[in-house]
Amino acid sequence: MAKYESKAIRNLAIVGHGGTGKTSLCESLLFVAGKTDRVGRVDEGTSCMDYEPEEQKRHISIGAATNFVDWEKHRVNVIDTPGDSNFTFDTKSCLRVVEAALVLVDAVGGVEFQTEKVWEYADEFKLPRMVFISRMDRERADFQKAVASVKERLGKKVTLFTLPIGAADSFSGVVDLISLKAFVFDESKRTSKSVDIPAAMTDQVKQYRDILIEDIAETDDDLMNRYLEGGELSPEELQAGLRKGVTGGSIIPVTCGSAVKNLGITSLLDSVVQYFPSPVDAGESKGTKPGTDEPETRLPEESAPFSALVFKTIADPYSGRLTLFRVYSGTLTSDTVVANPARKVTERIGGLFFLEGKTQKPVEQLIPGDIAAIAKLKDTATGDTLCADKATILYPPVIPPPPIISFALEPKSRGDEDKLASSINRLTDEDPTLKFHRDDQTREMILSGLGQIHIEVTVEKMKRKFGLEVNLKTPKVPYKETIKGKTTVQGRYKKQSGGRGQFGDTWLEIEPLPRGAGFEFVDRIVGGVIPQQYRPAVEKGIVEAMAEGVLAGYPVVDLRISLTDDSYHTVDSSEMAFKIAGSLGFKKGVLDCQPTLLEPIVNIMIEIPDEYMGDVIGDLNSRRGRVQGMDSIGHHQIIKGQVPLAEILKYAPDLRSMTSGRGTFTYEHSHYEEVPPFIAEKIIAESKKEEA
Ligand SMILES: Nc1nc2c(ncn2[C@@H]2O[C@H](COP(=O)(O)OP(=O)(O)OP(=O)(O)O)[C@@H](O)[C@H]2O)c(=O)[nH]1
Ligand SMILES: [Mg+2]
């Protein structure tokens, strides 16, 4: 039996812009709650939450990590999420499975673009949240300015729960506006101790305490009436009002502190257990009956059928897969079988674990609200629902965003191609935002993802986990060739060198077809001079020659070739001879048909804050892009248009730097178009050079 009940669980995702101190805050929580003996440091590579070597090398979080602390008879599960936009799918997947978000805003930088993104995700999941103004001890830390940026950029009313005592060098603790006590941290006893509120802060404390009480009163008509009539609200009423307001989302508390100084952490933990909802408060979980659109729900009760949602998968070279999930209903014990309705399979549950960073702590039984891990599931992936075999349900998963940048992978040692595919498959398994395929035309192995760091990290993991080293190259653009004119041409192959000769003779009519039509071969011979069996050979010869192109080695498309006449020789003709004749005729004829290059054009959708509009459109024009429409949502613009693929191979880092990271985009293949002559010349010259 678990030592706590579902109503004593708090699930918290720590989110925010990159580098705002999320991981450090987790380390501080673990220390203050007495779980660790020393505070892990991101910069020294001693953080238990940033445990992957790729994180330690860069001093940033790349994947989410989970841990838990016990605080005031509550189990607080904390998920540390990455702030970098390359890894937001992980962040969003974590927000999907918690009851509350702790949003970090840096005391110096205020709200940044990634803060806005995670805020939107929290809105999407209707999550209660708390803002923590972090790194208050840093030079130029300014609590009020940071709070002002929250009000301005996140457009929400927020309520201060604590006030900082001092700032930067002089930051020494917080005043809790609810209990009206000041707290400083006593490093030696590892407890925060209550001290007198500094006299200089009396007026300020009163002012913000009044605002707090007014915000609480607004949560309840009864309280409001009493408050307006000048009555005092009891501490219990305030508590109850706060809980209602925070849980319902009408009150967004703001606290502050410093992770490296362990300041403001106890107030934070207190607020989390007192005001954030438990899995029981969150009520029923909504899903559908597998295979239908019919709603299906589960109550967060131990007696309900088991259900859980997988929010992360970690590939391990030795122990296989580690699957992280959150239980919504029922109980789960090891050595049972559960269903995975999305994959139409059942999975055997071996050992169950709680994770403390990378450390696995075995657990016997899980209850609603628990966040845990299972090793070695066979078919289960991120986003899947696991549930009781006899009572299935599907929870809506977070859909991975489409990739926006691609690289060609080239193994450093020859012969590693097969190993490459299998290792990559293990990594795409762990990360659904990675896509891998072999391009039929260019024969390159293409890895696509959400940004340059994303791909680089993947390549590093491949080396570390599977011992495979690859070079990254910009992928080739899959150009094609076509014709604009028509002609009639003779394709003739004759070889007489003693013995049996070779003879094939054809007349071909070559003409262009509309874009996207592909290739048509028409047999227009009437009467039939030559045996039927040779005609497919002509087509085969043409198709093979088409694949190799005539201008720059790209496949020729959108044309019709009609076989109009031919002659043959009873002895010397063969399928081979007609194949060669067809190929020769094609190569000769196409050159008379104004051959030209085609390039892939993509539909692109770019979302940017208003102020970057001019720059982004100017840049898009310089990439030969065409703007087709614009929409504005709030302070954001959505630009829709078309642009050649060749011009956006590096768009992800370019847009990032153009918009200070605030712009995002997606694209998809649309169609092929003729390459402008001056660019075609360059591509043809390039290909000739390569061939030489
Ligand atoms: N002065 C000061 N520095 C801090 C504090 N918290 C974190 N830092 C520093 O800020 C930097 C970033 O801290 P992290 O904890 O890695 O930030 P993060 O939000 O987890 O970053 P990502 O995971 O990359 O998004 C590190 O150099 C930390 O040492 C703090 O309270 N005070
Ligand atoms: Mg981090």
* 3-state SS, one letter per residue, for 247-311: HHCCCCEEEECECCCCECHHHHHHHHHHHCCCCCCCCCEEEECCCCCCEEEECCCCCCCCEEEEE
Tell how far the Cα of 431 is from the centroid of ligand 1, in angstroms: 25
Give CA–CA dist 227/225, Å, rounded. 5
Q: Are 291 and 369 in contact (CB under 8 A)?
A: no
Protein residue with its CA nearest to atom 13 in ligand 1 = 21
Give CA–CA dist 603/587, Å, rounded. 34
Protein residue with its CA nearest to atom 14 in ligand 1 = 21
Token readout for 381 is 């992936």
Indicate the DSSP class of residue 110: B
Q: Which ligand is nearest to the CA of 50?
A: 2
Q: Are 99 and 128 in contact (CB under 8 A)?
A: yes
Quick one: pLDDT at residue 505?
Answer: 86
Residue with tokens 């004119």: 485
Token readout for 105 is 């805003």
Quick one: pLDDT at residue 413?
Answer: 86
| Res. 317: pLDDT tops 80 | no
Tell how far the Cα of 12 is from the centroid of ligand 1, in angstroms: 18
Give CA–CA dist 58/563, Å, rounded. 63
Helices and strands in the chain, H and E counts: 16, 36
Task: Quickly state the pLDDT bin for 498 (edges 50, 70, 90).
Answer: low
Collapsing DSSP to helix, strand or coil, 330 comes out as coil
Q: Are 599 and 644 in contact (CB under 8 A)?
A: yes
Q: Are 224 and 218 in contact (CB under 8 A)?
A: yes
Cα four-point dihedral sign 346, 348, 352, 357: negative
Give CA–CA dist 31/272, Å, rounded. 16
Tell how far the Cα of 65 is from the centroid of ligand 2, in angstroms: 9
Taking the CA atoms of residue 680, residue 642, residue 668 and residue 687 in that order, the dihedral angle to the nearest 10 degrees is: 10
Q: Are 494 and 570 in contact (CB under 8 A)?
A: no
Q: Are 78 and 24 in contact (CB under 8 A)?
A: no
Q: Which ligand is nearest to the CA of 21?
A: 1
pLDDT in tens, 382-410: 999 999 999 999 999 999 999 999 999 99
CA angle 51, 141, 193 (to 5 degrees): 75
Tell how far the Cα of 24 is from the centroid of ligand 1, in angstroms: 5
Residues whose beta carbon lies within 6 Å of some atom of ligand 1: 16, 18-24, 42-43, 60-61, 82-84, 134-135, 137-138, 258-260
Q: Which residues of 16-31 are buried (b: 16+ CB within 10 A; e: fewer)?
A: bbbbbbbbbbbbbbbb
Protein residue with its CA nearest to atom 9 in ligand 1 = 21
Residue with tokens 């998968």: 313
Which of 42, 57, 91, 256 for a ligand 1 pocket mutation test, highest count of atoms within 8 Å of Cβ?
Answer: 42
| Res. 194: pLDDT tops 90 | no
Protein residue with its CA nearest to atom 21 in ligand 1 = 19
Which of 14, 22, 23, 24 for a ligand 1 pocket mutation test, highest count of atoms within 8 Å of Cβ?
Answer: 24
The neighbour count for residue 422, using CB atoms within 10 Å, is 10
| Res. 571: pLDDT tops 80 | no
Atom number of ligand 1 nearest to Cα 17: 25
Protein residue with its CA nearest to atom 24 in ligand 1 = 60
pLDDT in tens, 268-294: 999 999 999 999 999 999 999 999 999
CA distances from 200 to 107, 133, 165, 205, 500 (A): 22, 22, 10, 10, 110
- Position with higher pLDDT, 78 vs 636: 78
First to last CA, the chain: 73
Q: What own/partner pairs with CB < 8 Å and gap ≥ 24 does 355-361 have? A: 355/65, 355/66, 355/67, 355/324, 356/35, 356/48, 356/67, 356/68, 357/47, 357/48, 357/49, 357/51, 357/65, 357/67, 358/48, 358/51, 358/65, 359/48
- Position with higher pLDDT, 376 vs 418: 376
Atom number of ligand 1 nearest to Cα 259: 31
Structure pTM? 0.87
Quick one: pLDDT at residue 529?
Answer: 65
Atom number of ligand 1 nearest to Cα 42: 16
Token readout for 569 is 């020789």
Question: Of 468, 471, 472, 474, nearest to 416 (Cα)?
Answer: 468
CA distances from 679 to 528, 628, 641, 663, 685 (A): 45, 23, 21, 29, 10
Atom number of ligand 1 nearest to Cα 24: 15
According to DSSP, the β-strands at 332-333 and 365-366 are antiparallel
Amino acid identity, residue 564? Answer: T
Tell how far the Cα of 64 is from the centroid of ligand 1, in angstroms: 15
Tell how far the Cα of 42 is from the centroid of ligand 1, in angstroms: 7
Reported as half-sphere exposure (CB side, CA atoms, 13 A), residue 68 has a value of 20
| Res. 68: pLDDT tops 60 | yes
pLDDT in tens, 666-677: 998 999 999 999
Quick one: pLDDT at residue 127?
Answer: 97
Task: Quickly state the pLDDT bin for 151 (edges 50, 70, 90).
Answer: very high
Share of the chain above pLDDT 70, in %: 97
Tell how far the Cα of 559 is from the centroid of ligand 2, in angstroms: 55
Atom number of ligand 1 nearest to Cα 84: 25
Tell how far the Cα of 24 is from the centroid of ligand 2, in angstroms: 7
Tell how far the Cα of 157 is from the centroid of ligand 1, in angstroms: 26
